[in-house]
Amino acid sequence: MLEVGSAQRVRLRSTKAKPAILKQTPTCPFSAEVTTWEGGGAMLQAASTGHANEESQHITTYLHYHAQSYGVTWTSRFYHGIRGGSCTSAAWWASRGTYPRFPGGTVAGPNVQNVLVQDDLQQTAMSSEHTPLLTKVRVAAPRPRYPHAVLRRFCTVALASILIWFFIAVAVSMTLLEGHSHHEPNDKWSWPGCGKRKLDYDQLQRILLDTPTSKNAEEWSRYYTSGPHIAGKNYSQALWTKNKWEEFGIQADIVSYDVYINYPVDHRLALLKKKKHDDGTSAWKVSYEASLTEDVIEDDPTSSLSDRIPTFHGYSASGNVTGSVVYVNYGTYQDFADLVKANVTLKDKVAIARYGGIFRGLKVKRAQELGMLGVVLYSDPGDDGDITEEKGEKPYPDGPARQPSSVQRGSTQFLSFAPGDPTTPGYPSKPGVPRQPVHTAIPSIPSIPISYQDALPILKALNGHGPKADDFNQYWTRNTGLGYKGVHYNVGPTPDDVVVNLYNKQDYVTTPLWNVIGVINGTIPDEVVIVGNHRDAWIAGGAGDPNSGSAVLNEAVRSFGEAVRQGWKPLRTIVFGSWDGEEYGLVGSTEWVEEYLPWLNHANVAYINTDASVRGTELRTSAAPLLHNLIHAVTAVVPSPNQTVPGQTVHDLWNKQIRTMGSGSDFTAFQDFAGIPSLDIGFIYGPDSPVYHYHSNYDSFYWMEKYGDPGFIYHRTMAQVLSLLAARLADLPVISFRAADYAQSLDHYVKQVEDKLDAALAPRSASALETAAPLLLDDDAYFELRGSTRNTSTTLSAASTSSAETFKASLQRLHEAVAKLAARAAKLDKRADELDEKLRAHIPWWKWPVRLHLGWQVRKVNTKYKLMERAFLFEEGLDGRPWFKHVVFAPGLWTGYAGAVFPGLVESIDDEDWVNAERWVDIIESRLKNAAHRL
């Protein structure tokens, strides 16, 4: 039997500063000595005669485990004694309120496991009631130190979460709704920041109005027009632009894509005439060889650059063809229909067409569909308004009239079917991606551009052959400008002994393009405003298209950089894009949108485009209806360069017309593919403005300096307009949209469809529209009408008339859907106005719950505005051109430039496909309801 002295208090001394005191414990029939060493580990030795039993084994294990867990050096001795009494190991552990925990965390207790105790001693008569022989000890479950640990843990987590959300709420309320300093009654200010801000919105606006200068715009223009910068061959300009933006304080990067484009190798256009010899034989002789070049002008250094780009068409086909010539007017769908109706032979002929009206690629496409061999395009001076040689003006450079040798280059891609890289429709042109066949996206017949100087001999060769232009209708004789040069505008074809030989050789390659992307990060990460212009040009110059826009964008970026330098940070992120490859078919911007589509769908509020920012003095805009109000607001605060009436603004001199979004520039992918409300803006030439030499070497710095914008004052004004458009979208708390404007426009679009249907059903002469329209409409409006329809000169058949009358009733469903959308839109706009008024009021910082609630209400309204345009996307796309997803807007199928409304429905009506028209009514109605639901 073990006799040990009375129980002792155990004191554990640690090498750490604070000792640990263990209270007296019940006695147990052994004494033990704990020996420990540096780094943990313990050994239990019996303090009696050397006997060890199961209790000592348990204690040894327990102490060894916990000594290791302390990880410190302990020196201690403890004693447990009992005078003439006895206990069991279970009783002793239970009295301590705990149980031994073995290495690995196993607890010995009756509810966990039974611990088998093997006695190392032989069972002898020495055993007594004081030392009972137990072959199994059942150990009770431990009493938890904290009986309500789960509840305590839950409460701790809940309290911590509440405190975290409290601090977030305070931070958000102070960040999103700034503290009030003195403001004028009508002032609006930015959200970011707490307390007094370094810049309020009025101060930001003043910076954006004062920073742009004409001198800087002139400097940027001079740089961009100093040499060739065709797509895929302008990396130095991309790098210069990136570095310049970073110099302005804006983070920038270059994003590249590998795209499929062509470069010119060789070309020829000759008029051949068959000569008969006296011996009865004949041979073809060249009667005229077109120069296919633009004259060198001493006053204009750009025209004499040794590396200037030859005249050619982007995406034109290589080929060598010979055939008789047919004059096809503007080459619109209806022009070709007129020729077919007049029994003019088109197959195996070469078309000569005037530029204008519709996108050049669609002229080539329709000629190809009708079996023609090739197409020659020229610029007729009759389309230059009153500034012509015929009316007494001198040609450039001595006067403002068209230079006779000027040639308009350009793309012949089938733009209204899909822009971007034709080998990767719908996905970005990154290295290694699969490439698609291109035969449905670009022409398979050759085409070349020429000057009207080169066109004269060919047009004169048609004199007296075939119908004359005025045998058709007034549209054919509209703006014919070479009559004074001896051209009769006969259609042809030329006789068999007079033909043209068209030779075109192109080199197709896959080459990198370089977009420059600049960013000013805002407070709200999922609201982004994008501003863009393309940098590439067909020519060495490009002072108007596109580099007036490049100069303007640079000044806008510099202005925002100045605001950032003064401490401003936008509420919404602003992204600047300098696109490459636009001229070939909006390639750079389209590939970028296709790559970042998920992010754009989530975050992009709007896209602002400026292409040829300055080509004249008349403001021209096109925009999604959500942005109409924004354009009016901004132009009303920007002073006009024309101060014949002191104090007048850009808005005062603007005709207030906002055109429907079509295509032809970098907004297309944003608006028609991604469903992002977009606008395009710039100053253009009017009928009495100096002629702008579009895509010609004469679109040069010299022309801009002398005729386009002397002093570069309109460049400065457009930089102010562009900056404020972005600033209002990026920095006013409530997004500057008006949903009611969209609903009103939709109602107007439905009425346009009804009017179109009524015109088809009404009895009329076949040429009534063609006779009246040229007299009543301006050029742009009539071209839009003429190019967007395929049945303007025919009436419906009796069977089709009956179906059309039945179908007309279906349009009432669209009126009803628009009415519901209008009601929801008006409610949303009213709520936005109410929130805008509340934001003007002083809200002390300590009223953070009010500020927080107001902030979330604004956030809710802004989200509805942001996603409204997306509601009109139809994933399957338009019939025959699935890349275009928007059911309200798309380029006209046979215009390319001009916008069409409800394109799927209108094209079905043109085709007299009433079943498909009903299908499109269903689609449009569902999209209208979707938009109303989102509001």
Catalytic residue ranges: 582, 767, 886
Pair of tokens at residue 246: 């970073």
Cis peptide leading into residue 849 (ω within 30°): no
In 277-340, the DSSP E strands lie at 282-289, 313-314, 319-323, 325-327
CB burial readout 876-897, b (16+ within 10 A) else e: ebbbebebbbbbbbbbbbbbbb
Q: Please tell me the distance from the alpha carbon of residue 477 to that of residue 569, in angstroms, as a whole number.
A: 57
- Give the 3-state secondary structure of residue 609: strand
Pair of tokens at residue 328: 């096809």
Q: Please tell me the distance from the alpha carbon of residue 827 to that of residue 149, in angstroms, as a whole number.
A: 52
Tell me which H or E stretch contains 136.
strand 136-137
Q: Whose CA is closest to 820, among 754, 720, 743?
A: 743
Amino acid symbol at 651: H
* CB atoms closer than 10 angstroms to residue 928: 25
Pair of tokens at residue 276: 């008969």
623: phi then psi, degrees, rounded to nearest 5: -165, 155
CA-angle at 547, arms to 545 and 552, nearest 5°: 120
255: phi then psi, degrees, rounded to nearest 5: -115, 125
Q: Please tell me the distance from the alpha carbon of residue 295 to that of residue 395, in angstroms, as a whole number.
A: 12
Evaluate whether 476 touches 469 at the Cβ level (below 8 Å).
Answer: yes
Q: How many residues does the chain have?
A: 935
267: phi then psi, degrees, rounded to nearest 5: -160, 160
Beta strand 136-137 with 115-116 is antiparallel
Q: Whose CA is closest to 546, among 231, 75, 899, 192?
A: 231
Query: What does each C-alpha distance from 10 to 44, 76, 115 come to in angstroms?
Result: 15, 8, 27
Residues 6+ apart with CB under 8 A from 572: 522, 523, 524, 527, 528, 529, 605, 729, 730, 731
Beta strand 42-46 with 313-314 is unpaired
CB burial readout 169-186, b (16+ within 10 A) else e: bbebbbbbbbeeeeeeee
78: phi then psi, degrees, rounded to nearest 5: -130, 155
